[in-house]
Amino acid sequence: MKVDFNIDIHHLPRVEGHGDIRISVKDGKLIDAKWAVVETPRFFEAMVKGLSAERVPFLTSRICGICSISHSLASIRTLERAMQITPPEPARIIRLLAMHGETLQSHALHLFFLAAPDFMDTPSVVPLLHSHPEVVEAGLMLKELGNELSIATCGRATHPVSLVLGGVSKAPSKPRLTEIRRMITDRKPMLDKATDFFMTLRIPEFVRETEFISLHDGESYPYIGGDLVSTDGVVHDENDYLLMTNEYMVDFSTSKFTKVSRQSSAAGALARFNNNYDQLHPRAKEAAAAFGLKPVCHNPFMNNIAQLVECHHIVASAEAIIDQLLDSDLCDLRTDYKPKAGAATGAVEAPRGVLYHHMETSDEGKVVKGDCIIPTTQNNANIHHDLHALVEQALSQGKSEKQTEKLCEMLVRSYDPCISCSVH
């Protein structure tokens, strides 16, 4: 049957920020599919100019309400590298724990609040509070664990207060760390509960070959710094981030698009998984095996499962880091520095993928130039091209307008886009 329909979703719900899905089908053929980001820009690159370097992480953390710790640490890394500041080892470990907290919080928020309602056919998580209380409880307890890790290491879960140039301004107390260590032990069963629940969900079958970009150091699963790698075999130094992004503009989006070897590429949990499988904790590998998830996986809907796999890795890694911190004296937290002119890139793996900040400083320690390239910015082109392929697949399978619309919404949500972040 030849079908005609237009899908026009204005301000897609259950994602961070404002994006529209626009699909047009005529005589059973796809005419156009667009992922249009309509978010208002805030112009952070213009706003960092002239600001004192020490204040910059406090400004850039405001790029994102979900991954503020990643933005703060990306700015700290670029400015420390530009001004040749080496943070002390305990500070480095505390920062890693802070990132673990943020990623766990962000993944739990996405999996349970934003993605799960799609699979359960509810408008939000609220009806699930009554129909699946034990599942929501598991999600809330994991999200709370993530937030507690962030609060202990940064003073606050959103917009960190104690992550500073040169190190950290305050360390978590040992009694607090012991408390969180116990919390991890108590909440591990929640991870298994979450895994059991997601095993019951039907992940849509859809494959479009993609180039996946992430950090990689060959030793540990990536969080802060490393080489830039792609599943197509591209490798670049952190400072050569522009070669891994190649930003360009399209007229229907206030977010820029990026590409590397193909017309688009992807960042995020699935990209990290695809490039760093060997560095995952054995428990995370077990969880992946339960879902049949193996590298390189080209189904974007499996990004949900890759996030869940990462939750297993994070909880195991956080446990080991806390043991390490409990054994150290936590005294040397902050390196003194003198402002200096320089330029460098700081790359971190934010929950939604590799995040680059690049800054140049003056002799007085003011920022003279800034550039931020956001994970969702790197995913927008891939979402756009995936939508084309997904609608064509849906049409060939005879899916209805309503089924197609739902699949399109689920596809975009699988990327866990952070849209205001991507426009910044």
Strands (DSSP E) contained in 48-177 are 163-164, 167-168
Burial per residue of 226-239, b for 16 or more beta-carbon CB atoms within 10 angstroms, e otherwise: bbbbbbeeeebebb
**381 is a site residue for other proteins (CB under 8 A):** no
**43 is a site residue for other proteins (CB under 8 A):** yes
**109 is a site residue for other proteins (CB under 8 A):** yes
What sign does the CA torsion over 112, 115, 120, 124 have?
positive
In angstroms, give the least distance from the CB of 234 to other proteins: 26
In angstroms, give the least distance from the CB of 416 to other proteins: 13
Alpha-carbon distance of 136 to 265, in angstroms, equals 33
Note whether 349 and 222 are within 8 A (CB): yes
- Residue 117 is encoded by which pair of tokens? 């309602």
In angstroms, give the least distance from the CB of 39 to other proteins: 8
Phi, psi of 176 (to 5 degrees): -65, -40
Alpha-carbon distance of 139 to 128, in angstroms, equals 11
**285 is a site residue for other proteins (CB under 8 A):** no
Binding mask 253-272 for other proteins (x = CB under 8 A): -x------------------
In angstroms, give the least distance from the CB of 2 to other proteins: 29
Straight-line distance from the first to the last Cα atom of the chain, in angstroms, rounded to the nearest whole number: 44
In angstroms, give the least distance from the CB of 101 to other proteins: 12
Could you say which of 31, 126, 235, 289 contacts other proteins (CB under 8 A)?
126
Choice between 170 and 262, CB closer to other proteins: 170
Q: What is the CB neighbour count within 10 angstroms for residue 207?
A: 13
- Residue 208 is encoded by which pair of tokens? 């479009």
**47 is a site residue for other proteins (CB under 8 A):** yes
In angstroms, give the least distance from the CB of 326 to other proteins: 21
In angstroms, give the least distance from the CB of 4 to other proteins: 25
DSSP 8-state code for residue 61: G
Q: Which of residues 61-100 bind other proteins (CB under 8 A)?
A: 62-66, 68
Phi, psi of 227 (to 5 degrees): -80, 155
Q: In what order do the strands lie in the sheet with 342-350?
A: 342-350, 353-361, 367-373
Phi, psi of 362 (to 5 degrees): -95, 175
Shortest CA distance to 386 belongs to which of 270, 264, 257? Answer: 264
Could you say which of 26, 28, 52, 173 contacts other proteins (CB under 8 A)?
52
Could you say which of 37, 94, 138, 141 contacts other proteins (CB under 8 A)?
141
Could you say which of 45, 319, 392, 401 contacts other proteins (CB under 8 A)?
45
Could you say which of 125, 128, 309, 322 contacts other proteins (CB under 8 A)?
125
Q: Which of residues 382-421 bind other proteins (CB under 8 A)?
A: 420-421
Could you say which of 123, 175, 202, 396 contacts other proteins (CB under 8 A)?
123
Alpha-carbon distance of 372 to 63, in angstroms, equals 10
Q: Which of residues 190-249 bind other proteins (CB under 8 A)?
A: 249
Kindly list the distances between the CA atom of residue 371 and the CA atoms of 176, 259, 359, 381, in Å, as whole numbers in the listed order.
37, 17, 6, 19
**173 is a site residue for other proteins (CB under 8 A):** no
Note whether 16 and 66 are within 8 A (CB): yes
Choice between 72 and 317, CB closer to other proteins: 72
Q: Which of residues 288-307 bind other proteins (CB under 8 A)?
A: none
The residues binding other proteins (CB under 8 A) are: 11, 13-17, 40-43, 45-47, 49, 51-52, 55, 58-59, 62-66, 68, 109, 113-114, 117, 123-126, 129, 140-141, 143-144, 147, 154-159, 161-162, 164, 169-170, 249, 254, 420-421
